[in-house]
């Protein structure tokens, strides 16, 4: 077992967005997150405003710049709304940062205290693909609502049954997948969990390659995609064009009852990709017996895949902003630790239908 930085968990994912007040309303009302904490003018934070939302063990921060000189403003100008920081809790931020840099990570911010009346944390960060960073956070004596600098501002919502972040996928440029896989192996001690090549993931038009990097305990799974040459533009290239560089492509949210979760998300207005009816005709022979009724899965557009350990159910949203960049996956695992390889073809054909509508295929 190797965990050189002593990662404990995904602490939170921070997004830079154009309007955090409206984005937090969307994530509360559509995805069922409750609001936990806030930082902004009222807390003497004058360059940014942030809303902290949580559901199950998934914590997100939606941050907007209050001035054109704030780093978030440049991030949004270039990328649109997107993920800035995938933050990890570690045993000791100083030790984790020193070890990461020793192992070849590019430093972003040196370890420092962040404190308020509720106590102190240590925080540092290292860079990853594109303009994305990993914060490393360790607790000293902090007992407040989220992190120092935030005040409690609870808004309860009806949750959608999301229990945790299952994985987060990054898109990188052609030829860079191995570079970043090596980075996660070397710096974080992750191993190559699963690899998909262009034979697994190609359609008539476009292809991609993917490697799933994971810690030994499978607490943090970070697949990395790169485009593969095809007859037409890969969905990864479309992302890279519109995000203007590498970044987080999708976040997979795990739930315990996908039929209930997807029914609620659909009722709340989340739009999902669809597959043809023929997918469900072939399903019984492809995956064998499952607990769920196939007509119900078909009605909701939920996909199923099986490996020798069990099966999984999954569905993918359309992009959640105007640029065709970040989208969500909803996943329920019933023994299967895979990523839905058997669904790639149907799924990517669906993505390409959407790409064609956008004039990007
Ligand atoms: Fe995924």
Q: What is the pLDDT along the chain (361 residues), one digit of tens a residue?
A: 589 999 999 999 999 999 999 999 999 999 999 999 999 999 999 999 999 999 999 999 999 999 999 999 999 999 999 999 999 999 999 999 999 999 999 999 999 999 999 999 999 999 999 999 999 999 999 999 999 999 999 999 999 999 999 999 999 999 999 999 999 999 999 999 877 776 666 666 567 888 999 999 989 999 999 998 776 788 899 999 999 999 999 999 999 999 999 999 999 999 999 998 999 999 999 999 999 999 999 999 999 999 999 999 999 999 999 999 999 999 999 999 988 888 888 888 888 888 889 998 8
Q: What share of the chain is helix, strand, coil (3-state, %, to 5)?
A: 30, 40, 35
Ligand 1 centre distance from Cα of residue 246 (Å): 16
pLDDT at position 345: 80
Q: How far is the CA of 340 from the centre of ligand 1 (A)?
A: 8
- What is the CA(169)–ligand 1 centre distance, in A? 7
Tell me the longest C-alpha to C-alpha distance in the chain. 60
Q: What are phi and psi of 146, to 5 degrees?
A: -155, -70
Rounded Cα distance, 101 and 314, in Å: 37
How much distance in Å is there from the Cα of 161 to the middle of ligand 1? 18
The pLDDT score that the predictor gives to residue 233 is 80
Ligand 1 centroid vs 250 CA: distance in angstroms? 7
User: What is the token pair recorded at 229?
Assistant: 């040459």
CA of 303 to the centre of ligand 1 (A): 12
- Residues across the chain: 361
Structure tokens at 237: 């290239």
pLDDT at 336: 92
* Cα(277) to centroid(ligand 1), Å: 22
Report whether 171 contacts 326 (CB < 8 A). Answer: no
Question: Domain 162-358 - what CATH class?
Answer: alpha beta
Q: Partners of 10 in the beta sheet?
A: 88
Distance CA 292, CA 272 (A): 19
- Gap from CA of 146 to ligand 1 centroid (Å): 28
DSSP-assigned letters across all residues of 293-320 = -HHHHHHHT-EEEEETTEEEEEEEBPPS
The answer to whether the CB of 214 falls within 8 A of the CB of 193 is yes
Ligand 1 centroid–CA 129 distance in Å is 18
- The CATH-assigned architecture of domain 7-155 is Roll (3.10)
Q: What is the Å distance from ligand 1's center to 50 Cα?
A: 27
Strand ordering across the sheet containing 119-127? 107-116, 119-127, 133-139, 82-90, 7-16, 58-65, 48-55, 34-39, 151-155
Instruction: State the pairing for strand pair 7-16/58-65.
Output: parallel
Q: What are the C-alpha distances in Å from 266 to residues 32, 239, 260, 329?
A: 12, 24, 10, 13
Cα of 114 to ligand 1 centre, how many Å? 34
User: Ligand 1 centroid to 40 CA: how many Å?
Assistant: 33
pLDDT for 87 equals 98
Residues of the chain with CATH 3.10.180.10: 7-155, 162-358
Residue 198: per-residue pLDDT: 63
């Amino acid at each position: 077992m190797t965990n050189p930085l002593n990662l404990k968990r995904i602490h939170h994912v921070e997004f830079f967005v154009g309007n955090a007040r409206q984005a937090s309303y969307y994530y509360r009302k559509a995805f069922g997150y409750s609001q936990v904490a806030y930082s902004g003018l009222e807390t003497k934070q004058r360059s940014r405003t942030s809303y902290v939302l949580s559901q199950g063990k998934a914590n997100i921060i939606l941050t907007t710049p209050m001035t054109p000189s704030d780093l978030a403003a440049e991030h949004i100008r270039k990328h649109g709304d997107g993920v800035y920081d995938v933050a990890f809790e570690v045993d000791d931020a100083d030790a984790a940062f020193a070890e990461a840099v020793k192992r070849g990570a590019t430093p972003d911010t040196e370890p420092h205290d962040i404190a308020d009346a509720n106590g102190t944390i240590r925080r540092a960060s290292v860079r990853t693909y594109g303009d994305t960073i990993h914060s490393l956070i360790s607790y000293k004596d902090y007992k407040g609502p989220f992190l120092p600098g935030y005040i409690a501002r609870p808004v309860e919502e009806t949750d959608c049954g999301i229990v945790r972040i299952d994985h987060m996928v990054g898109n990188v440029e052609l030829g860079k997948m191995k570079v970043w896989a090596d980075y996660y192996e070397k710096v974080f001690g992750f191993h190559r969990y699963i690899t998909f090549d262009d034979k697994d993931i190609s359609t008539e038009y476009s292809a991609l390659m993917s490697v799933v990097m994971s810690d030994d305990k499978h607490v943090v799974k970070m697949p990395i995609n790169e485009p593969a040459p095809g007859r037409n533009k890969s969905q990864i290239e479309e992302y890279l064009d519109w995000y203007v560089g590498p970044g987080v492509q999708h976040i997979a949210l795990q739930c315990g009852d996908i039929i209930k979760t997807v029914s609620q998300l659909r009722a709340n207005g989340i739009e999902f990709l669809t597959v043809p009816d023929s997918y469900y005709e072939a399903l019984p022979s492809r995956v064998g017996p499952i607990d769920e009724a196939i007509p119900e899965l078909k009605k909701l557009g939920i996909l199923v895949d099986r490996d020798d350990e069990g099966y999984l159910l999954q569905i993918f949203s359309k992009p959640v902003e105007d640029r065709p960049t970040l989208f969500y996956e909803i996943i329920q695992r019933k023994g299967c630790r895979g990523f839905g390889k058997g669904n790639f073809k149907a799924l990517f054909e669906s993505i390409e239908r959407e790409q064609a509508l956008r004039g990007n295929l």
